[in-house]
Amino acid sequence: MSVSSELITQVMSLREQLRYHNHRYYVLDAPEVSDAQYDELFQQLKKIEQNYPELQTLDSPTQRVGGEAISAFQTIVHTVPMLSLGNAFSSDELKDFERKLKDRLETTDISELEYCAELKLDGLAISLIYENGLFKQGATRGDGATGEDISHNLKTIRNLPLQLNTLNPPTLLEVRGEVLMPKAGFDKFNAEAQLKGERLFANPRNAAAGSVRQLDPNIAAKRPLAFYAYSVTQIEGAILPNTQYDVLQWLKSFGFTISDDIKTGKGLAFVEGFYADIQQRRSLLPYDIDGVVIKVNELAKQQALGMVSREPRWAVAYKFPAQVASTVLESVDFQVGRTGALTPVARVKPVFVGGVTISNITLHNMDEIRRLGLHVGDTVEVCRAGDVIPKITQVLARGESSSLIELPACCPVCQSPIVQDEKGVIVRCSGDVYCDAQVQRRLAHFVSRKAMNADGLGERWLEQLLEKGLIKHSADLYYLTAEKILAANIEGMGEKLADNIIAAITKTKHTTLQRFIYALGIRGVGEGTSLALAQYFGTLEAIKSADEETLKQVPDIGEVSAKWIVAYFSQEIHLKQLEQFLAAGITWPIIDIEQAQHQPLVGQSWVLTGTLSSMGRDVAKAKLQQLGAKVSGSVSKKTTIVVAGAEAGSKLADAQKHGVTVWDETQLHDLFAQHNV
Ligand code: I6G
């Protein structure tokens, strides 16, 4: 069939109209046509393209819809690492940022330095690659060095250009920005999901993240996502403008959406003004934000400033304070953990704060309740910042019928007596193996990732196996069979799943002594102590028979932990279970204690903080432990070194307070290279 010029014009017009309506709907949140009218235009275009395949183009709006699902995400190595931004939470921290700029730029009049101020959109950072003007690939940030290829989903985002709007495109262009779900789209999406009885998303950020990490692009295609560009990180075959502001306008001319709130100005007075204005208009913006981003406007100056600890020196995220709300404390329940510790959990009247609805808040221990002076019935202030766990920060008013929060007289699960430490801070259930809550928490700990790592044996199935009486203790896991699981008639359990569970358990039989000791869940024996025990004694037999005095010789083990370890191995029930584990075939490589005790970092305590761009923190921790270091979660004056990645928080400040040496990621890399780990 030959193609008439009228048909070509009609196709171009349909595409133009669809792009226009996409923009109105997804970006401006101001649609001009109904969904049915939009579908009509879309179907017209699709039909013509089906009849005349020669008219199909890669950038046609029809190309955005769905496509085949992928089986797994491919890993993408970022040619230019995806950095993160340093944060400022106060005017003083902002001044600090400026002072460092002044020192580095060696300028006398810092008040003349021009900034570009933008919004800190609360979405998901992604990277897009265009070759000769055509969208080629899109990836998540991942750990900054490698991300996941999510091109199939990104292609469905209506305002993300599939082809750059220029006759002379760069041969290579990498654009970075944020994928988000605008508030209006999120509300509509959740309202529809509720009607259909489907799962709701807690906030637009989770909705965006969940959407782009789907294997099936048909799912992402139905989600109202939008992309906002904020930088160019690679360019070939074209020249970038000289300033951040002009780069953004240049991207806009190519068809990218940029935020409406971008301004330039000089000095911190300009920055504070921008921040205050945006903070005041925050709730009226079409998307969630968690602050503003301030960048040195001139690209040549950015280049000169460079970066430190995977953060650009020329930019900072000036964050809004944590959001607070008030609500009423309705009751306090006590949850039983794996060591029997009772943790008070506040049940509050559901309240929307920091982007999510909160109804449960952990109170940690009785001390926290006393410190806050909490009573049931009180009106309390609840605070939540970003992904941070919500907290009750203060009592705002005592209710008329407020009542004291009392410790339960016995364990709320097994009714065994409770025991308290001297200060009455930690309260425990004495039920031990007779308390279902403790048994379940211990089983969950035993199979967890850092312990035996039984991938695929989630809490849901553990709970069912327990309930059906198939297991009581972790050792019982090794005597399960697929037939026994199937015979128990567990809802949702089929042959394949039962086989998978058995395979997951069998895989854990080859482990390490450190993991096994940690998995036992002995009080006071965390990951670090387990490693220290394994390296000091070399065999389970030696650990089992060590007395308190010997145990105290092990780095990291004090009087209290030594007592707990001895107590654990003196209980008949534990010894019987150890025999069962070994009889089931659990094994680990033999440890050369001579070698283990002469590792270069033996006796040292390290702390990792912030995001490492080239490896996960777990990997860095394992490597440090391999070299003999203890890796701790908090900084004290005993800490040997703190390694600070991007967006390092309070631990970096703690290190400075205690005068502890701080390393960046490069130094850590060099250490690993030097020791070949
Ligand atoms: O995470 C970010 C959010 C917004 C950014 C960013 C941004 O500019 C408006 N810019 C850069 C350079 C980086 N992250 C690394």
What is the model's pLDDT at position 533?
93
What is the model's pLDDT at position 373?
93
Tokens of 186: 């999120």
Tokens of 106: 């060696």
In whole numbers, what is the pLDDT of the chain averaged over residues? 90
CA of 108 to the centre of ligand 1 (A): 27
- Tens digit of each residue's pLDDT (9 = 90 or more) over 544-584: 999 999 999 987 789 999 999 999 999 998 999 999 999 99
Q: Do 340 and 428 touch, CB atoms closer than 8 A? A: yes
What is the model's pLDDT at position 285?
93
| Residue 458: pLDDT over 90 | no
User: Of the candidates 303, 391, 376, 335, which has an alpha carbon nearest to the alpha carbon of residue 105?
Assistant: 303
Ligand 1 proximity of 290 Cβ (cutoff 6 Å): no
Q: What percent of the chain is predicted at pLDDT more than 70?
A: 98
Distance, in Å, from the CA atom of 475 to the CA atom of 634, rounded to the nearest integer, reads: 33
What is the model's pLDDT at position 327?
96
Ligand 1 proximity of 118 Cβ (cutoff 6 Å): yes
The conformational region for residue 347 under phi > 0 = left, psi -120 to 50 = alpha, else beta, is beta
What is the model's pLDDT at position 263?
98
Ligand 1 proximity of 120 Cβ (cutoff 6 Å): yes
Ligand 1 proximity of 231 Cβ (cutoff 6 Å): yes
Q: Do 371 and 393 touch, CB atoms closer than 8 A? A: no
pLDDT band for 276, please (50, 70, 90 cuts): very high
Tokens of 677: 């780990």
CA of 84 to the centre of ligand 1 (A): 7
Distance, in Å, from the CA atom of 180 to the CA atom of 226, rounded to the nearest integer, reads: 6
Catalytic residue among 95, 120, 637, 657: 120
CA of 208 to the centre of ligand 1 (A): 17
CA distances from 118 to 248, 278, 280, 292 (A): 10, 10, 15, 6
What is the model's pLDDT at position 1?
57
Question: Domains of the chain (ranges plus CATH)?
Answer: 5-72 (1.10.287.610), 86-319 (3.30.470.30), 324-408 (2.40.50.140), 432-507 (1.10.150.20), 513-595 (1.10.150.20), 601-674 (3.40.50.10190)
Give the mutation target among 82, 85, 289 for probing the ligand 1 site: most ligand atoms within 8 A of CB. 85
Sign of CA dihedral 44, 46, 47, 52: positive
Q: What is the pTM of this model?
A: 0.61
CA of 180 to the centre of ligand 1 (A): 14
| Residue 26: pLDDT over 80 | no
**DSSP bridge partners of 643:** 608, 663
Distance, in Å, from the CA atom of 314 to the CA atom of 316, rounded to the nearest integer, reads: 7
Give the mutation target among 231, 288, 307 for probing the ligand 1 site: most ligand atoms within 8 A of CB. 231
Sign of CA dihedral 34, 37, 41, 47: positive
What is the model's pLDDT at position 556?
75
Distance, in Å, from the CA atom of 223 to the CA atom of 479, rounded to the nearest integer, reads: 46
Ligand 1 proximity of 293 Cβ (cutoff 6 Å): yes
Compute how many other C-beta atoms are within 10 angstroms of the C-beta atom of residue 495.
11
DSSP assignment of 45-114: HHHHHHH-GGG--TTSGGGGS--PPPSSPPEEE-SS-----EEE-SHHHHHHHHHHHHHHHT-S-GGG-E
**Is position 120 annotated as part of the catalytic site?**
yes
Q: What percent of the chain is predicted at pLDDT more than 90?
A: 60
- Tens digit of each residue's pLDDT (9 = 90 or more) over 376-416: 999 999 998 655 688 999 999 998 888 989 889 999 999 99
- Tens digit of each residue's pLDDT (9 = 90 or more) over 179-230: 999 998 999 998 988 888 777 887 899 899 989 988 888 888 889 999 999 9
CA of 231 to the centre of ligand 1 (A): 7
Neighbour-count burial of 506, counting CB atoms closer than 10 A to its CB (0-12 exposed, 13-18 middle, 19+ buried):
middle
- Tens digit of each residue's pLDDT (9 = 90 or more) over 107-154: 778 888 999 999 999 999 999 999 999 999 999 998 888 889 999 999
What is the model's pLDDT at position 270?
97
Distance, in Å, from the CA atom of 517 to the CA atom of 381, rounded to the nearest integer, reads: 41
Average pLDDT over residues 224-246: 96
Ligand 1 proximity of 311 Cβ (cutoff 6 Å): no
